[in-house]
Structures are given as C-alpha cells and as structure tokens.
Structure 1
Amino acid sequence: MSRIPARDKVETFRALHRGRVPGDPLVLPGPWDAASARVFAAAGFPALATPSAGVAAALGYEDGATPADEMFAAVARITRAVDVPVSADVEGGYGLDPKELVERLLEAGAVGCNLEDSAGGVLKDRHEHAEFLAGVRAAAADRLFVNARVDVFLHGDGDPERAIERAASYVAAGADCVYPILAPAAVLPLLRAGIQGPLNALALLDGDGPSPAALGGLGATRVTFGPGLQRRAAAALREIAEGLTR
C-alpha cells in the first residue's frame, strides 16, 4: 500500500467537507481498531473518524476512562492500517496544552480531531473553551481539521440558541466544523441556519433515527456514528458466541 503524504491527507479531508449538497453529507464511519478501519476503507469510505467511546470499549475501558497514551497509540494503529484520512476523537484533550495535544495527534497520524466542550457532565465556560480551541488552531495551523463538539443537547439545557451561541464562539476561534451532538433532527435546520461552516450530525443506529442522507437533507455537512458501529459489531459477535454453545 503506497502511503499518501500527511499534508495531502489533510487537504483531502478538508476538501471532502466542501461543496456538499443537501442529502449528500460526508459519511465518516468510526473504526475502533485497525481491523475495523480496514473494513471501512475497503468498503470505499474516503475518510474515517474514530469514536473515543468505541476505542475505549475495544481497549477494555469505560467511556472517558482511557489513558491518553493508550488512546493515541490506538489512533496510531488505525492510521497505520489504512491510507485514507483519519480524524481522532480525543475527548477533552486529556489536560494537554494545545501544542502538546497537536504534536501527539500529528505523531499518531491523525488529520483532525474532535474536542468536547464539557467535562464531568458539565459544560465548560464557553469563552475559556474558545481560547483553548484558538490555541489548538494556532499550534496546528493548517495541519489539523478541528471539529468542536457542542454538548448543549447532551449535558446542557437543549436550547438550540445556546448551541448556536457556543458554536459561533468556536468558529470564531478557528474551529473548522462544529458538532452539536445528539441535536434532535427537527432542530438541525435551525442550527444550519445559525451556524457558519460545516455541521456534524450524529446518526443513530437504532432504526428509529434519520438516515445519513436524511440528516444531510436537514443540514448536516457530515455524519458520524459515535460508538454505534462498535456496539453493533459487539452485538453481532455476542450472537455468534451464543450460537457456539447450541
């Protein structure tokens, strides 16, 4: 497998977010290890986005409990296994300063990152988090695509206007994309109208939520799945395991 230079991968990843038309979002499956990454790449997906909760489960940790060293090592194994761009969910940044965080992401081969704006189930101060994102952007320059997660619908009051307000601060700080995780589908058009730049939506795999294409029609630029794919794979393996004893 010939390797694409890191800078070319970043530019490829950025370009994938541009010019998306309604109903055709960038769909980014979430690999939790090298094997799953190779499956998604072989299926033709042009880029991938690791889920921190899925990687945690694969490593034997609860969501949010993965040591930073193990998370970056897992991301590095995934990026080495495929030649498509890989963005990494690194939770809140593990307490690293922006420069070190960027260095570790680049060392792991990531072209982008997700960064949460909550800690311990509580929203961070919007202005302080914007300063942190600005620091990451300054340290990364154009070497990383920064996806700023907005946790208003997860840990806040679910007010769309509050989500738009926080998103605006993050975009002004240099975020390339914002991710109002768990925003109801019905609210996506309002968020799309109020947020500049790419918008990330979460697709649920419970059969009741909108499809990725439908989320794109509602305003999503890109669609990710959180740990949903890892959990579905674990459920399938559980069924196989149970069948071995019959």
Structure 2
Amino acid sequence: MSAQAERYERFRALHERPGAFIMPNAWDALSAALLAREGFEALGSTSAAIAFALGRQDGAHAVSRAEAIDNAVLLGAASGLPINGDLEDGFGPDPDDCVATVEAAIAAGLAGLGIEDTTANRANPIHGFDTAVARIAAAAKAANGRILLTARADNFINGRPDLDDTIRRLTAFAEAGADVLYAPGLPSLEAIEAVVRAVAPKPVNVLIGPGDLATLSALGVKRISMGGALQRRAYDGLIDAAQALQAGNMADAGARLGHGEVMALFAK
C-alpha cells in the first residue's frame, strides 16, 4: 500500500467510527506539529490562512493550486497525519479543472480534499445548480475511492442564506458521489440537524460555530473543522504580546512554548 493510500484509509476510518471528531486546520509546519503533539488524528489546511500568511486577501484564487497543495504536503510532513486539503473551487470553473485538482491531490499524497461550489467571481459567487453538481460528479469519478472528497455548498458564507437551496445542493452532491458534505456558516443547530438528516448516511462536516462537540455528535455530525480560526487565535496572542511590549511589560510578552520544545518537534 502506498503512503497516500495508507493516509486515505486512516482518514476514511475516522469518518466510519461512532461519534464526531475534530479536524483542526493548521497553516504551517509548526502549527501542524503542535496539533499532532496534542493528539489530533487528522488535520485540514485552510486557504484563508495560506492567503493571509502570504499577505493576500482570501478568495478568488488568491492561492494557486500548487501553493495550496504544497502547503498541505508540508502539514503532512510536519505532523505525520492525514491531511484534508482546502482546494477551494478546484481551481477552475469546469469539471475538468476539478478532475485535475483531484489527481494533483492524490499525486501529492493527500488523504482528502474539499471542493466548493464557488465561482471565484465576487459578482456571482456561486455556480448554478447543474454546473455545481456536474463539477462534483467529475471530481467524485476521479477520486474513485482513492481520496476522500468533501463537497461544499458555500451559500451561507457568500451572502445567500438559503437553507433549502443548500440542502438541495448537498443532497445532489451526495448522490453524485461525494464522500463528505459541508456547508460552512450554517446559522443554528436546527439548520445543522436538517443538513445531517438530508444527506444521511453520508458524513457531514461543520465549521466551528453553534454547539459543542457532544451536542454536534448527538445531532449526527461527523467532523468539525476550524477554518482559519486557529491562525487568527494565534495572532490574538501576538497582539496581546505586542500590547504588553508597548506598555513596557516585557515579562508578559514571553512565550510558554520553549525553543527546545520546537527543536525537539523537528528533530526527526
């Protein structure tokens, strides 16, 4: 079995066992290594965090396919964990673009990937229904049991809070062969439960928001991700330290994480 196939099998098994699990999103080698040290079993990348680290706005192909996949590969190398790549809209409008992204993710050794129904066009951010389904169907055919495909319906984070259309899309994506369904930004536990019921028995990912792990697990959610939240939380710490320095309080700007701890993480 190849290394990629082994990571895929580990990742798929997490979605088949009882209960929900948390898949935090890392953004660089150290964040990935630390999350692995804390006991998480899989990680996601996040296009927003890659863009922000490069000084770019998120969205509209701010990050290229190669940059996104290279980042996911780095996270896997640093953590030893299965990585789910945030690969945006498949980096192109056509089904063939999604196929190329799936093939590139498999070749790079990723365990999973997500493809959105977004267009990279801020004036018209969501693909029409038929086009969106055709793109996921092509991606699922390319994945063919070699990588876990998450299909995303991004209405709610693009100013279209239409739960009925979101469920219609997710149900069609499931029927088209997606392995996991995801609608970031669902506004309530009731909306999350409606999505879970609609696509059952396929697993659902939710973005951190309403409910805790136990509540979401009881609703039937399988996976919880963080998007760019952990990166921003880390920058909260930077802001706190900067403000302490500006106030002349150097002691409060120190770090709990020691240089030696970081060196030990990367000794292997």
Q: Compute the TM-score of the two structures, normalised by the length of structure 2.
A: 0.82
Corresponding residue for 2:84? 87
Partner SS for 1:77: helix
The aligned runs of 1:43-58 (5 Å cut-off) are: 43-58=38-53
Corresponding residue for 1:223? 224
Corresponding residue for 1:144? 147
Corresponding residue for 2:203? 198
Q: Do the aligned partners of residues 20 and 161 (structure 1) sit closer, same or farther apart at CA in structure 2, a change above 3 Å counting? A: farther
Instruction: Say how many residue pairs are matched.
Output: 236
The aligned runs of 1:91-110 (5 Å cut-off) are: 91-95=88-92, 97-110=97-110
The separation in 1 between residues aligned to 2:65 and 2:7, in whole angstroms, is 24
The aligned runs of 1:145-224 (5 Å cut-off) are: 145-155=148-158, 157-184=160-187, 185-196=189-200, 197-204=202-209, 209-224=210-225
The separation in 1 between residues aligned to 2:140 and 2:51, in whole angstroms, is 26
RMSD: 1.8
Counterpart amino acid of residue 182 in structure 2: Y
The aligned runs of 1:21-100 (5 Å cut-off) are: 21=19, 25-64=20-59, 65-95=62-92, 97-100=97-100
Q: CA deviation at 1:169?
A: 0.9
Residue pair 1:88, 1:113 contacting (<8 A) in 2 also: yes
Partner SS for 2:84: strand
Q: Decide which structure has the larger Cα Rg and report it.
A: 2
Partner SS for 1:97: helix
Q: Compute the TM-score of the two structures, normalised by the length of structure 1.
A: 0.89
Q: CA deviation at 1:36?
A: 0.4
Residue pair 1:203, 1:212 contacting (<8 A) in 2 also: no
The separation in 2 between residues aligned to 1:99 and 1:219, in whole angstroms, is 30
Aligned match for 1:13, one of 11, 14, 21:
11
Q: Deviations over 1:70-118 (max 9, x none)?
A: 2222122112112110001011111262342123212332111111112
Residue pair 1:80, 1:109 contacting (<8 A) in 2 also: no
Larger RCO (CA under 8 A, 6+ residues apart): 1
**Structure 1 residues not aligned, in runs of 5+:** none
